[in-house]
Every structure is written in structure tokens, then in C-alpha cells.
Structure 1
Amino acid sequence: MDEVEIVVAHSERVTLRLGDVFLKVDADQARIDLEVEAMAAAPVPTPEILWRTPPVLAIAALPGTALGRLGAPSTASPAAWAAAGAAVRTLHEASVPHWPGRRRRDPDELAAELDRECELLVANGVLPADLVTRNRRIAEAAIRPWTPVFTHGDLQVDHVFVDGDEVTGIIDWSEASPGDALFDLATLTLGHEEHLGDVLAGYGTDVDVDLVRAWWSLRSLLGVRWLVEHGFDAFAPGCEVDVLRSRM
């Protein structure tokens, strides 16, 4: 081991990499409890838990590389993206665990949060009003009743690891909960619209693509302000603001 790599760091949690070991330091121990339980229940490959000493969780690195990164073209094959879709389908078809997981907002709560965020984005000059208004109209389609499934809850493209065309594991389960299947699919393909067809081919069932796109707008509108406040660049090429602009 030559160095300590800071994978992600903000006021809520820090993830460090030391060689083949990841150390997650989390201020919310309930979130770590959920992550451990979710990995044990998930019917897809997950990292090995090496040890836990609150507030630190140590997990082993997965073989292979991340499926992609937000803001950069993915070098993974279409077959690897399809394999990711198949893994997500396996997760969604599993029985929802007995634990409630991270509580998800119901449609009314989502609508109220969308109202607040859109007002703040415009009032604080974070985004232009026409961009917010257009995406808000698109996002509203995602706010509807859904049948809950076992969702990862934060299935960003760099949370899925592949080796060749095979999924070797999925990381970061602290947001797992019964939720909307299309939210996972939208999170996985956010900023990688060109691979949506590959993911859906692997997922293997009819999916309302317009609702996936609605979740792209909804997730981005709800996330931009948090990202900016926590030191992340939502305005970087290919990231959340570009996703919103692509809907215009």
C-alpha cells in the first residue's frame, strides 16, 4: 500500500481506500447497520465485510472496475451494461426484506420536496427558471403510486463493478429500501442515456422509458443543491445539470 485514497468525503460520511480495503466512516450508525443488513439480504454479489468497529466499517475491494463514472464515457461493453440490468432485475424480484430500510418519501412528500427545491433553485440563482420549469413538468410523471420492490436506493453507475461482461458486485447499500424499481434503473443510467437500451435488454421486462426519464429529471432537481452545498460539481460536463439541459 503506497497511499490512502479519499474516495468520497463530506459532512455525513467519509470513504477511504487502503490497498484492497475500503474504510467507511459514518456519523449515522443506523445507516451503517442498514448497509450491513442490506448486503446480507441482497441476492446479488456484494463486498465482503472484513470487520466493523463503530463508526468504521471495513469492506474488501471488489474485482474488476466500475461500470462507469458520471460525467465520463463508459468503456464497459454493452453486454456488461446488460448484465447490470439483469442483476438489478434479480434484486427487484427478491422478496422485500422484513426491515423497512431507509424510509422513502411517498408521492405526496416527493411532490412537496420538488416544490421546495424548484423554488430554491430559482430564488437562489442556482439554475435558470426555464430549465427548472421544463424539468419539473417532466419530473412530475415519476410522482405516482408504485409497487415497492427491494431497491438499492443509490445505484450510481460507479457502484456497480464488472469484470469483462460479468457483474462482480454492487457497493454502497446504505440507502436500500422498498421503493420504486424505476428509480434504481434511472439512477444507474443517469448521464448514460446511450446505455439505457442495454440495461433494459438485460432487465428483461417492459419498462416505461418515459418514467425513467422523469426520474432523471426528478433526481437531478432534488440533488443539485445538496451536491453544491457539499462540495460536489453538479455543473461538470455530463453531470446533473447537463442531464437537466438534455431534457430541453
Structure 2
Amino acid sequence: MRCAGVVVPAILAGVDEVQIVVAHSERATLRVGDIFLKVDSNQANLEVEVEAMALAPVPTPRILWHNPPALALAAVPGTALGVLGKPSPASPAAWAAAGAAIRQLHEAPLPPWPGRRVDDVRTRLDTECEWLITNAVLPEALVIRNREIAETALRPYTPAFTHGDLQITHVFTENEALTAIIDWSEAGQDDPLWDLATLTLGHEDRLPHLLAGYGQDVDHEVIRAWWSLRSLSAARWLLEHGFDPNTPGCEFDVLRARM
């Protein structure tokens, strides 16, 4: 079998249905039976994902094959903690189990590749805020207030092994135990509170449950700052790739909640 120039092993033969999980100009993820096929325009993303999963001390998907620019992963057991914009159906114990696993990741040895620089994050944030105001995407006062809050996150920190894109749909549990964390292409050395903020974005009521497993020695103001920063920085990308940050419970509501 061949797909967009990619040689596809016979393990995919005979499958009746292909489900598009996500697709945009940069990457696509397809579900083919019990296999997830990821195709990325940037091969470095898949290389990071493969290496990060090998290093991470938490459950990750099983790699079936890696044939650039595609990566095939086995489906993981359990269900995601939830989706952005809807209440999480997972129990407090399931959130605590996720917190304990994330703490284990953050205490693991650092991956060998470097992480983001605070100055680069600040520059991108300012660029995105200017775009939001210039194009009247959001009220200027809303952007300015959240930019002020976001500054709290832009401080010196001790880097940890982070997932980097720990969205609520990327953490799976079953019977109140963590079964897998998926999508590791943005893993690296970064602020551990970035992971905690990403997971609880739009689910602020779940932060106490997450910290019950992770541990309480975190600065809640920094997590709130990351909520603002992520929502401001991601808005343009989401809009340009067919996602709506103005959906109830999503990024724009997160920004409005800070006012």
C-alpha cells in the first residue's frame, strides 16, 4: 500500500475505514483500525516524538513503525480525561493519577535537546498580542489585561522534562489509573508549570484534583499566567488552521475569565 508517497506496511491492509482524527497544512493523524498513522511535514517533530517516548518514564503509545514522514502507533487503552470546551467526565482520582505521572516525568533526567528560551516566548507573545489588537480579533483591553497576567510566567525557572503540549485529550486513564500520554512531538526541556497549565486550560476546577497527585508545591499564579499566555499565543494559529478559540469554554473564554 502507498499513501501520499509513503510506503505503508501490509499491517494496514484490509482495513475498511479510515478516520481523520486531525488534519491541517502542517500534519495529519489518521485512525486505521487500532492504528494511528501520523504524517508530519516536519520530520524533526516525529523524531522528537519517537525519542521522547523512549525516554519518558510514563506509559506511552507503542511504536509500530517509523517510515518518514509517517509514524504508526498502536491505540492506547482507556479514555482521554476530556475535551476542551466540555466538562471533564473523569473522576478526581483519575486526575490525581495523571498528576502523579506528570510529576514522575518532570523529575526524570532531562532530554538531550534544548528547550524554549524565555525571551523567544516573550517575543512571540508580544507579536501575537499585537496581531489580535490590530485585526480587532479581541477587545484591546482584554488582550492588554491578559498580557499583564502572562508576564508572571516569563520568569527564571528550573527546566524539567516536559511533554510540551499536554492537552486534556492527550492524557488517557482507565479505572482511575493512567494508561498513556500521547503526542510527544513538542517534548523537551521547559517549565513544568507549562504542562500543568496546558492540561487544566479551560478546566480550572480540576487543578486541585491534578495537584492532589502531583503535589502542592506549585505557584498557582504562574499557572494562571500560563493560561493567559497559551490562549493569547495560540489564537492566530487556531483561527488559521480551522479551529475556533471562541467556542464556549475554549481559549477566548479563558481570557475573558481573567477580567
Same fold, judged at TM 0.5 (above):
yes
Structure 1 counterpart of 2:57:
43
Structure 1 counterpart of 2:100:
86
Q: CA deviation at 1:2?
A: 4.7
Q: Pairwise mapping of residues 61-100 of structure 1 onto structure 2 (< 5 A)?
A: 61-100=75-114
CA distance in 1, matches of 2:246, 2:113: 36
Matched, 1:29 2:43: yes
Letter in 2 for 1:244: L
> Tell me, what secondary structure is at the counterpart of 2:147?
helix
**1:55 aligns with one of 61, 69, 72:** 69
Instruction: Structure 2: state its 5+ residue gaps.
Output: 1-14
CA distance in 2, matches of 1:173, 1:164: 24
Structure 1 counterpart of 2:5:
none
Matched, 1:115 2:126: yes
Matched, 1:8 2:27: no
Cα distance per residue 1:124-161 (max 9 Å; x no partner): 01111111011111101001111010000000000000
Matched, 1:233 2:244: yes
CA RMSD of aligned residues (A): 1.0
Q: CA deviation at 1:164?
A: 2.0
> Tell me, what secondary structure is at the counterpart of 1:207?
coil
> Tell me, what secondary structure is at the counterpart of 1:5?
strand
CA distance in 1, matches of 2:91, 2:16: 31
Cα distance per residue 1:4-40 (max 9 Å; x no partner): 1111111110000112110000111111111000000
Matched, 1:129 2:140: yes
Task: State the TM-score, normalized to the length of structure 2.
Answer: 0.92
Letter in 2 for 1:79: A
> Tell me, what secondary structure is at the counterpart of 1:126?
coil
Structure 2 counterpart of 1:179:
190
Instruction: Structure 1: state its 5+ residue gaps.
Output: none
Q: Pairwise mapping of residues 174-213 of structure 1 onto structure 2 (< 5 A)?
A: 174-213=185-224
CA distance in 2, matches of 1:196, 1:203: 10
Q: CA deviation at 1:111?
A: 1.9
Letter in 2 for 1:12: E
Structure 2 counterpart of 1:138:
149
Matched, 1:164 2:175: yes
Structure 1 counterpart of 2:164:
153
**Are the counterparts in 1 of residues 113 and 189 from structure 2 also a CA contact under 8 Å?**
no
CA distance in 1, matches of 2:44, 2:231: 26
> Tell me, what secondary structure is at the counterpart of 1:231?
coil
Letter in 2 for 1:122: I
How many residues were matched structurally? 245
Task: State the TM-score, normalized to the length of structure 1.
Answer: 0.96
CA distance in 2, matches of 1:112, 1:56: 32
